[in-house]
Amino acid sequence: MKNSTNKDLFVGIDYHQKSVQVCVLDRSGRVLANKSVDNDCGVIAALTARAGHRVRRVALEACNGAADLAEQLIERFGWSVELAHPGYVARMKGSPDKHDLGDAHLLADLTRVGYLPKVWIAPPWVRELRRLVRYRQQQVDQRRNAKLRIGALLRDHRLQVPVKPGMLNAWTQAWHAWLTDEALKQLPDESAWVIERQLVRIEQLQKEIAITEKRLWSFTGEDQLTLRLLDETGVGPITAWVLRAEVGRFDRFNDGKALSRFCGLSPRNASSSQRQADAGLIKAGSNLLRATLIELAHRLTRCTPRWRQLKAKLRAAGKPGSVAAAAVANRWVRQLYYRMTDQQQPNRERILAATPC
């Protein structure tokens, strides 16, 4: 049994688009191979086969394309492949130098001793949903940028928006009518032309966003977890799609607190000695996911008495509105975890959930 254990191999793969650096270690940490080969699962398997032992675990740094290679290695060879968190791996280096040889060796060594900081390998369906959700967000960002350029041009020419009903906020129907019917006539020809092109671009993006949302409806129409999310108070299709894409599976977290940290909604501790302090939200997770959940928190404080009372309590304690919204999002996500995993909530959370709003 001992001899069989000693024959286990631990593999670290530093990923690149065309080639990968593969480091193979035995149980004692002895380097059996550390070589750059083609980015092909068959070539990687052939390199490890030369050591003559079985592959115990494989560590692959998470990056663009790594999940696809990991799935191929799992399906074709039955290997236990783990994605490594690149940020944590970088902090665990004992040297400031960076090279493929050392990176692959570090990954293999971390998985050998059981200290590899792991990243969940999302299944293909979730990865496809992420691509759709992020593509839609790219279109939304481009639309926002086009609107900001128009606003900057209007400020540059010092045009004053008339104080009329419906004109207090930009991009209402009344504001848009003023822009096209009056403002453009007051601008120089070149500036007016630039704004007209931006308006055309915005219209094109609106159509593209609508097409993408239709595709998202079709893609997630029969997904039970997405439908359950849509049943939550305040959760619309965009929020449900972002949660489903970025979280993937709720049961991969140990508890609601872990899910909240993944979403970037937990306070970051900055304590030292006798000093106890928070340093804002933790700098982790998807910016899109965190922004979506904080927007949801603003909706919840408007439509749900319970969350409105919590926000009022925090504001009364001197907390800014942004901090109060983040706190609401944090607590909502922690409770969402138990509803999505059908687990028994802790006593206090269960009592609060049963309290009518």
- Confidence label for 353 from pLDDT (cuts 50, 70 and 90): very low
**pLDDT of residue 202 exceeding 50:** yes
pLDDT per position as a tens digit, 333-351: 999 999 999 854 444 444 3
What residue spans of 33-170 are helical by DSSP H? 41-49, 66-77, 86-91, 100-113, 124-156
Q: What's residue 267's pLDDT?
A: 80
Amino acid of residue 334: R
Residues 6+ positions from 12 with CB-CB distance below 8 Å? 22, 23, 25, 58, 59, 60, 103, 104, 105, 106, 107, 108, 109, 110, 111
**pLDDT of residue 205 exceeding 60:** yes
pLDDT per position as a tens digit, 230-261: 999 999 999 999 999 999 999 999 999 999 99
Cα separation, 23 vs 30, whole angstroms: 10
Q: What's residue 266's pLDDT?
A: 85
Mean confidence (pLDDT) of the chain: 88
- Confidence label for 287 from pLDDT (cuts 50, 70 and 90): very high
Assign domain 2-119 to its CATH superfamily.
ATPase, nucleotide binding domain (3.30.420.40)
- Confidence label for 6 from pLDDT (cuts 50, 70 and 90): low
Tell me which residue of 265, 250, 253, 252 sits closest to 340, measured CA to CA: 250
DSSP state of 53: S
Q: What's residue 272's pLDDT?
A: 61
Percent share of the chain, pLDDT over 70: 91
pLDDT per position as a tens digit, 28-83: 999 999 999 999 999 999 999 988 778 989 999 888 889 999 999 999 999 999 99
Whether the CB-CB separation of 211 and 135 falls below 8 Å is answered with no
The residues spanned by each domain of the chain are 2-119, 124-220, 225-354
Cα separation, 43 vs 57, whole angstroms: 17
Q: What's residue 8's pLDDT?
A: 87
Q: What's residue 4's pLDDT?
A: 47
Q: How many CB atoms lie within 10 A of CB 54?
A: 13
Q: What's residue 335's pLDDT?
A: 95
**47-56, 101-110, 175-184, 336-345: the lowest-pLDDT one:** 336-345
**pLDDT of residue 278 exceeding 90:** no
The model carries a pTM of: 0.83
**pLDDT of residue 275 exceeding 90:** no
**pLDDT of residue 189 exceeding 90:** yes
